[in-house]
């Protein structure tokens, strides 16, 4: 990291400000290799935090403190509407247009509980400048067209838009998005918990919007909220990368700030009123009538903690939460996992420290209302034990080790690394704290580490929690009728509205629908928006350097990368031949492979050891079809971990022990793990419904598609529920343990290889340290993994606990080596940009929709996400093909589609993530030469190519269909479902 440190130090020594800004503070952060400076705009008071780095992926974010005083979703709807056209760019949809005209590595907008943020990232300077112009104009000079409010927020519309005698409906993208979001039980838990934990501040309300309250928001209220909140005096600018702060500030000034004076309003979250005694409340969540209500209650105990802006208070809360809940060996987590009062720990377990005042929560799911006292007593007695007897020093040190490791890791595989750092600091900046402290944690961590030398320190933190009277015990029980009552209330509300409408008001609704439909189909002048072109695309994909060698008989590959002193290791095991029954248990095997005891150590001892040695150890399988034939299969078991360099030898020994000494005799632990997995996967359905629908639709496309569905899809969730029920019988549980042990024996005798990623100048000494551990770890040849060929059609209608729909259609196509695969990838983006986005989101009201080519299983999939429609969306998928065949290909649209695919190929990851991706691509035969050829083929796609693949793969092909919806919808569409040949599937 010498180069990064030097660059940061150079920047730190000369943090120039643009004349209209003043430097407030400047700090070098050696642990991250960056320099962080705070500036203030002299005239308006706008804050600017710049994280100087030599990273070429520059990140921008502007955030506004948004403090709603109801659950109408005003901040969320404004976030959407602000991106629908501005003073300089008065087109309908500049945000989505810019996604198509950009090489961004990230582009989005977020609404949190107390801020709204508009971030983007790009490694291309021209692209960064383009996006900056559009974002600043959207935020500070949004036009807020009333039709955009109607489209994105909510509106009244007749079911037949031109017939005032037809039913009246609520429509709107955010309205449907939040119907989907609030179908998630964890979301309902969290918002209900906040309602009682925060009786008087903004967190009392659902900032995303409660579907019942969203229609209460008026257009005038939206505009008033914009005027009071979207002003530089209430703004926080944050940047990361190698563009100097003064250069950013010059653009901020020129593009926006020079037009504003200081705003006298001070927007902030106030202090929450404190309870003088604990509160207990009971509410309900909807459950389908066909499901049993027994053991479906959630019981959560939560405390309001101190202010997140006070660093020591925050770190103490993180330490206490880690000590209590970090892993299965932590006392409170152990109590919640092993109790018979619930099936698994609550998804709420942990510390929420992004709001002004922190929340610590814990509890169980899969319980019954009558267990509330016992669950609460279990939690409080566990805390009393910690307060009286403390925690072993090595366990406290392990939590501090985890905090240090998280602080040092350079991410970037999900969000850009710079955005991760910015979001870490944003909460503190929002509440006018000291965000630099959150990024330079080493001094504060050392201070906390010194305090932990006192054996009474943890005891006192636990006692403080026990003495805290601002405690809420929330009981959320299932109600099979609540959804029907909510639907009836919405219907009654709409009926009352309709009955009260005058003829003029009815005509106004019809006129608005017509105006919106015309606006949505209007061809607009996109040329006013800046863009990058194919000339701005890098010519080639850079190759990563790696070396190969062996520790004894174990081959390994090493990458030298800027990992900030972390070591990443992965053990890859070629998947052996498995029976059908063994294959069905593969996801259970990978779940438990790092969660059970090793040799003479119990799982509790192993969990503690993992926390002391590494930043977690995980197990998963990775499978791909052949480059030229999706029926060919190759698969590996992956054991993966990361650690600080000083722990690399212990990390290697732990990985080897995890693989060689895994024991399957802890039957109760096995049962707990399956119950936890079942709870997690059931609660994730409505958040991941589009992916699950696509998986179900394409399940018959290839052997790997079927395995993916059987293990990780809706079919897998159903099998998991059946398994969890079956192993309530002790004999069945013992049999399962034996079956998993048999799978493990096959793994032990399979071929193995090792991946090592670390700092380049540390690789030699690192390999010398860990080599003896792996030296006699033999790779043994065994019979390889094979799956029977499969190429068919699937048509299913899945019933789930969801207020909205997720639709998918899949067509068989080709594998990645075929010349048409890159064309189909471009075709998917072209359809989304040119037809699907408008039809499914803007006109249909779904939160999202599109298409993608999955060359791994040789399938092309259409999808919609949080969709109020169903049959109409499936028809829109078909209409997109007709549109493609009857509408001349747009040269601009083709270039934008190519840019979209190339941008996804070139998207940067973390240093370690890029090495992992390169390594895994290589072992599956996707060499750098293959990847470069695919990229060149993408760049060469023509209009004729798009028409050819459209005619070849879609005009005479039968599509597979999968829908995720609810019982009410299935009953209403029973005739259509039978006509389409869809089978009803229950989770």
What is the structure's pLDDT at 5?
A: 38
Check if the beta carbon of residue 513 is closer than 8 Å to that of residue 161.
Answer: yes
Question: What is the value of pTM for the model shown?
Answer: 0.94
What is the structure's pLDDT at 523?
A: 84
What is the structure's pLDDT at 448?
A: 92
What is the structure's pLDDT at 397?
A: 94
Query: Which residue do the tokens 């119990």 mark?
Result: 602
Instruction: Provide the token pair at 700.
Output: 């018959």
Neighbours of 976 (CB within 10 A): 13
Check if the beta carbon of residue 142 is closer than 8 Å to that of residue 226.
Answer: yes
- Stretches in the chain below the pLDDT threshold 50: 1-13
B/e letters for 600-620, b = 16+ CB within 10 Å, e = fewer, are ebebbebbbbbbbbbbebebe
8-55 pLDDT per residue, tens: 334 444 689 999 999 999 999 988 889 999 999 999 999 999 999 999
Instruction: Provide the token pair at 979.
Output: 């006509």
First to last CA, the chain: 50
What is the structure's pLDDT at 753?
A: 95
**Alpha helix (H) ranges present in 644-688?**
648-660, 667-683
Q: How far apart are CA 783 and CA 525, in angstroms?
A: 61
What is the structure's pLDDT at 2?
A: 31
Report the DSSP beta bridge partners of residue 810. Answer: 861, 960
The beta-carbon contacts of 583-587 under 8 Å, at least 24 apart in sequence, are 583/707, 583/710, 584/710, 584/711, 584/719, 585/736, 585/739, 585/740, 585/743, 586/621, 586/707, 586/711, 586/743, 587/621, 587/711, 587/712, 587/716, 587/720
Check if the beta carbon of residue 731 is closer than 8 Å to that of residue 761.
Answer: no
What is the structure's pLDDT at 207?
A: 95
Q: Which domains does the chain have, with CATH numbers?
A: 15-267 (3.30.830.10), 566-774 (3.30.830.10), 795-986 (3.30.830.10)
Report the DSSP beta bridge partners of residue 637. Answer: 573, 621
Residues sharing a CB contact under 8 Å with residue 446, sequence separation 6 or more, in sequence order: none
Q: How far apart are CA 540 and CA 214, in angstroms?
A: 48
């Amino acid at each position: 990291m010498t180069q990064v440190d030097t660059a940061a130090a150079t920047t730190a020594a000369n943090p120039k400000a643009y004349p209209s800004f003043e430097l407030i503070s400047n700090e070098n952060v050696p642990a991250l290799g960056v320099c962080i400076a705070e500036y203030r705009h002299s005239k308006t008071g706008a804050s600017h935090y710049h994280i100087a780095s030599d990273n070429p992926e520059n990140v921008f974010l502007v955030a506004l403190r948004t403090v709603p005083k109801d659950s109408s979703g005003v901040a969320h709807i404004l976030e959407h509407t602000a991106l629908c056209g501005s003073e300089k760019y008065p087109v309908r949809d500049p945000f989505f247009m810019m996604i198509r005209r950009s090489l961004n590595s990230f582009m989005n907008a977020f609404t949190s509980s107390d801020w709204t943020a508009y971030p983007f990232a790009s490694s291309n300077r021209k692209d960064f400048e383009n996006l900056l112009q559009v974002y600043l104009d959207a935020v500070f000079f949004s036009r807020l067209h009333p039709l955009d409010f109607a489209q994105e927020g909510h509106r009244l519309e007749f079911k037949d838009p031109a017939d005032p005698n037809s039913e009246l409906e609520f429509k709107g993208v955010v309205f449907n998005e939040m119907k989907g979001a609030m179908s998630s039980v964890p979301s309902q838990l969290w918002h209900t918990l906040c309602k009682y934990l925060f009786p008087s501040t903004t967190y009392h309300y659902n900032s995303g919007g409660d579907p019942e309250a969203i229609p209460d928001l008026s257009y005038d209220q939206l505009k008033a909220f914009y005027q009071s909140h979207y002003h530089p005096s209430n703004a926080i600018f944050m940047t990361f990368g190698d563009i100097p702060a003064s250069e950013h500030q010059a653009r901020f000034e020129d593009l926006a700030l020079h037009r504003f004076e200081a705003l006298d309003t001070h927007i902030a979250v106030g202090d929450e009123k404190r309870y003088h005694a604990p509160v207990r409340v009971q509410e309900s969540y909807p459950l389908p009538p066909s499901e049993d209500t027994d053991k479906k209650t959630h019981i959560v105990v939560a405390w309001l903690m101190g202010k997140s802006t006070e660093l020591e208070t925050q770190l103490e809360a993180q330490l206490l939460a880690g000590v209590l809940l970090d892993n299965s060996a932590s006392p409170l987590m152990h109590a919640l996992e092993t109790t018979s009062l619930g099936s698994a720990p609550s998804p709420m377990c942990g510390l929420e420290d992004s709001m002004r005042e922190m929340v610590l929560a814990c509890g169980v799911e899969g319980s019954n209302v009558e267990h509330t006292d016992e669950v609460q007593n279990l939690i409080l007695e566990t805390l009393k034990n910690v307060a009286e007897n403390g925690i072993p020093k090595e366990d406290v040190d392990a939590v501090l080790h985890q905090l240090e490791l998280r602080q040092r890791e350079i991410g970037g595989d999900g969000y850009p690394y710079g955005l991760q750092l910015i979001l870490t600091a944003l909460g503190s900046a929002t509440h006018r704290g000291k965000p630099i402290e959150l990024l330079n944690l080493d001094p504060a961590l050392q201070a906390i580490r010194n305090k932990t030398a006192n054996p009474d320190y943890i005891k006192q933190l636990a006692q403080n929690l026990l003495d805290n009277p601002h405690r809420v015990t929330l009981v959320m029980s299932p109600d099979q009728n609540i959804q029907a009552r909510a639907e009836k209330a919405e219907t009654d509300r709409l009926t009352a509205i309709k009955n009260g409408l005058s003829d003029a008001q009815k005509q106004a609704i019809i006129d608005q629908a017509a105006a919106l439909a015309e606006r949505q189909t209007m061809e607009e002048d996109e040329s006013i928006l800046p863009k990058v072109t194919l000339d701005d695309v890098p010519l080639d994909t850079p190759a990563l350097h790696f070396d190969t060698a062996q520790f004894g008989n174990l081959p390994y590959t090493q990458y030298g990368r800027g990992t900030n002193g972390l070591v990443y290791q992965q053990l890859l095991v070629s998947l052996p031949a498995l029976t059908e029954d063994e294959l069905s248990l593969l996801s259970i095997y990978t779940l438990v492979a790092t969660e059970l005891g090793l040799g003479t150590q119990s799982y509790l001892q192993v969990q503690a050891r993992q926390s002391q040695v590494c930043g977690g150890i995980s197990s998963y399988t990775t499978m791909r079809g052949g480059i030229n034939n999706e029926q060919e299969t190759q698969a590996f078991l992956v054991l993966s971990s990361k650690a600080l360099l000083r722990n690399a030898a212990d990390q290697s020994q732990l990985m080897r022990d995890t693989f060689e000494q895994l024991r399957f005799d802890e039957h109760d632990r096995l049962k707990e793990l399956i119950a936890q997995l079942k709870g997690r996967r059931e609660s994730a359905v409505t958040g991941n419904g589009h992916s699950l629908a696509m998986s179900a639709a394409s399940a018959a496309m290839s052997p790997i598609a079927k395995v993916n569905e059987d293990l990780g899809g809706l079919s897998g969730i159903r099998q998991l529920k059946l398994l969890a029920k079956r192993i309530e019988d002790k004999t069945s549980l013992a049999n399962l343990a034996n079956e998993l042990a048999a799978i493990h024996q096959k793994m032990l005798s399979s071929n193995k290889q090792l991946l090592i990623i670390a700092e380049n100048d540390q690789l030699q000494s690192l390999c010398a340290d860990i080599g003896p551990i792996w030296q006699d770890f033999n790779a043994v040849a065994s019979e390889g993994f094979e799956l029977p060929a499969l190429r068919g059609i699937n048509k299913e209608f899945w019933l789930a606990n969801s207020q909205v729909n997720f639709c998918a259609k899949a067509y068989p196509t080709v594998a990645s080596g075929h010349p048409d695969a890159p064309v189909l990838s471009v075709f998917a983006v072209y359809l989304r940009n040119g037809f699907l986005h408008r039809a499914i989101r803007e006109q249909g009201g779904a939160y999202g929709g599109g298409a993608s080519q999955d060359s791994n299983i040789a399938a092309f999939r259409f999808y919609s996400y949080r969709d109020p429609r169903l049959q109409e969306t499936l028809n829109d998928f078909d209409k997109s093909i007709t549109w493609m065949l009857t509408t001349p290909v747009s040269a601009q649209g083709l270039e934008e589609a190519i840019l979209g695919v190339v941008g996804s190929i070139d998207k940067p990851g973390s240093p370690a993530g890029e090495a992992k991706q390169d390594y895994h691509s290589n072992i599956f035969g996707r060499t750098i030469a293959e990847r470069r050829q695919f990229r060149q083929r993408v760049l060469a796609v023509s209009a004729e190519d798009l028409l050819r693949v459209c005619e070849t793969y879609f005009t005479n092909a039968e599509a597979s269909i999968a829908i995720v919806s609810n019982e009410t919808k299935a009953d209403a569409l029973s005739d259509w479902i039978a006509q389409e040949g869809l089978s009803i599937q229950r989770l």
